[in-house]
Structure 1
């Protein structure tokens, strides 16, 4: 019999929280829980989600003790796993991350370019705070962190909390692997065995096979060369119902064309085609607005409906792909299942010709002893050059945060492939400093 676990979800007021709880409930045979907690520093926002989740748990898994708290000691005491997905500044600050760079003719994106750097400067404080709570109240726990921007956060934790039991993860490769499965006729991305290297939101597949060992790359390349990762037939993928995501999936066709030997992560469009992204962006209505108008509005409305009716029996809240990934990872760490998963880890030779201290995204074997990165060997000049440039950006951001250095943050923005010059970088930086006064350290 599997030992029951205790989990705290940090970022309890997130629009993803209810879906994660649904996934946890649905997987009690694989990852049984004795206790489930929510933690957020925004009481009102968390209460909307928590009140609905309380009803969901009582109806579907009443054996699980449920607590929602804004008190770190209560939330982090007696837990085996911290599942962290916080957003410092919420969606209003995401909107600024996206819209400020656009004023200067530079793409505005949540995790890439100037917006990602701004978000990273905010996220470091929050994630380090969570690690400290975990180490104080449950020192043997693991943190599974999927707070964005994952690469900057991972670099910060490497430098500032090198001994912390933390694994940084991202759901984007999971979503792309599901798109691959749809293309080749598999039911799930879990049926794919892959080789992949790069950074978070910045990587390439070199091999994609099914579990019988059949090579899926030829069929995938043929499809991606024409359609990107978008389906050429209707599939049930709610992500692709949104115009911005459909464009991102389709644009993978042009990213693929730059290197037809590999298959790209969709986010590479921001680095390879920043002019295209900027040209096709509405400076008055960005992705943050889409999220506030759609996912946030719908999830919160459904949570309130559940509370008003005091039942979740007919709820439309479903477990997302990233929630399943988190449960698999936690199960591998708790029960030694030796899952093969894409994680963001210290390089240490996994990509042989890249800085060993870079935080890279590669396949790892996960067990009770933690994670073991698989060797991806040397990578070609195109990928090596792009990776090393972006690694330097991320290291400069973390150094700027620690040293409170205006110059190093200016250097980070200047070095970003999305920014055309040091003068534009300086203008954007000054605007971002003004917008982030409440969240960033004061730069000198």
Structure 2
């Protein structure tokens, strides 16, 4: 069974070419050749009618027929309308009665009999020399040469196309084998080039995802060690001297571990899913008011609706507020407004120690640890990284700004409902 793609395409092309040649030959046989024979018979009938006298004895008709026996005509026989032979001239071999000639089909050979009907009802059977066999063979030879030329010209085209597909398949196999640096060459503007470009885009995305997940796993394992170590120490102390505060501390550490695991899973899901979030109407003011009230944070909002995933937007607002309380100290407040372009602007402000300009962008990286934080101190975790991921999926943005009088302002910008796409 033939498996190579280029062989299958090439054989399909050749088979199509053979079908076209056969159809062309049949069309030639049943249209052009028959039309030519009909025109020939009409011409011969008019010519013989003019050359033969309308009536006369056998000698006169014989002499008139003899004058018409010129190549390619080899013999003639004249019959009346009842099929009675009146006269003949030339080679009579193979000349039959008009009824027999009318029922027979001329075939390829050196001679052929033709029935010519005259205007006065008489009939002439003509024996003609024919080169139809040579003509058919010549036509077949010409068609064969054309088919050979097409076949030879088609092969390199088909082979070039399939060779590019084979190279792309080889690159895919190498990438699947673990070589993430493999990229397919993109040349031309056809479907193969589009497929290669799509593969390269997929490879870039997969490589970035794997690198991000690798970094996340390393950082997550590092961040989880601290609460796990505290839990282990608390268990050892509890075995020797049970105290309620030890149980309370372990519960807090377990809650922290659970929260970090939940954030890791959500971040991985956001990285893996490339489809747009749902475009449901979301009351942003209600979300800010609910989450601020839950955390006892002062807030000021105006009616503002956005389109997106309400669950993810609630998580975004919650992370911003909890981050401000955890690292920003006192004086935390939230303000939601609409700018002159209809964009929804949420500002979460605090009065913490602030963040230097060089680190205001890096704090949105997963598990980023500020330079002045001790190794045993707490990093930023995934909270702000999730904020940026969710904002990006809703075609928004988030940034960290300095606050007048000290502290930070985290500013979230989301497009108006009609602009989100």
Q: Please report the TM-score for the alignment, with normalisation by the length of structure 2.
A: 0.19
Larger radius of gyration: 2
Higher relative contact order (CA 8 A, sep 6+): 1
Q: Please report the TM-score for the alignment, with normalisation by the length of structure 1.
A: 0.18
